[in-house]
Amino acid sequence: MYKILEKEILNDAVQKMVIEAPFVARKCEPGQFIILRVAENGERIPLTIMDYDREKQSVSIVYQVLGYTTQLLAEKEVGDTLLDFVGPLGKAAPIKNHKRVLGIGGGVGSAPLYPQLKKLASMGTEVDVILGGRDKDLVILKDEFKDICKNVYYATNDGSLGHQGFVTDVLKQLLDQGEEYDEVIAIGPLIMMKAVVDITKPLNIPTGVSLNPVMIDGTGMCGGCRVTVGGETKFACVDGPDFDGLLVDFDQAMDRQAHFVEEEKHACRLDGANNG
């Protein structure tokens, strides 16, 4: 059993938990993920590690309350336990000690972005970040990023925080102003990461992305996270989830992600409960 040490409501749809997981905390690195199960006979879900503390033997996760399992998870409180918390899984993100890096986080994608920028900052890299969401309440981890980044920029669809528009608008503004970055790391919805790459690729700016949004099983057996990177077939969960964004076939990935949208709207059942 894995004890819940802390719980924080980030907004109406997103929560953060700190889990006591000594073996995971001992070995995990930015970019890796865990698979958890709330209870016996429950669904296994992969979640990217948001942070970790080796001394406290804890791992932090951020999750969006959408399906049956995340609803069960959201009902847990500090002191409660999870049945399974397996990891670290996947490959660690390729952290390079650049002089200056720009992170771009969209929605809950800011959670897996945070540990990468935190590690870069600890290595002496100057880090800026652009955080985006539909409105100010959906922009998460603002204080955490302020602690590690030199400049924090915001973009919201409704203009309630920062620039009214998209994170790519801010990216264009920074580059047009002459800001130079050795690398851009973008994590968020596939369409957001594709839009970032559409800007950085013509300028030959190395761009890392995380394909955790397409992960399902987390072991490579389901084939749901199959992607094409540099003309080769890869699986986000075992070969990634972080890849060179300039080589990812985003059009194919988005097409595959939308292929079973109608089927996913139909409910399935776990222990007699709706898992819609």
51 confidence band (pLDDT: 50, 70, 90): very high
Q: With respect to residue 76, please indicate whether it lies within any of the assigned structural domains.
A: yes
Domain assignment present for 39:
yes
Residue 183 lies in a domain: no
Residue 11 lies in a domain: yes
* Selected residue with higher pLDDT from 121 and 46: 121
Average pLDDT, the chain: 87
In a domain, 53, yes or no: yes
Burial of 131 per CB tally in 10 Å (0-12, 13-18, 19+) = buried
CATH number, residue 27: 2.40.30.10
Given a cut of 50, whether residue 74 has pLDDT beyond it is yes
Amino acid letter for position 127? V
pLDDT band at 217 (very low <50, low <70, confident <90, very high): low
Residue 275: is its pLDDT beyond 60?
Answer: no
**pTM for the whole structure:** 0.87
The structural domain count of the chain equals: 1
Residue 135 lies in a domain: no
In a domain, 225, yes or no: no
Are 155 and 139 spatial neighbours (Cβ–Cβ below 8 Å)?
A: no
User: Using 50, 70 and 90 to split pLDDT, how confident is the model at 224?
Assistant: low
Answer yes or no: is 139 within a domain: no
pLDDT of residue 272: 44
Domain of 54 in residue numbering reads as 2-89
Of 37-51, 59-73, 184-198, the range with the highest mean pLDDT is 184-198
Q: What share of the chain has pLDDT > 90, as a percent?
A: 64
216/205 Cα distance (integer angstroms) = 30
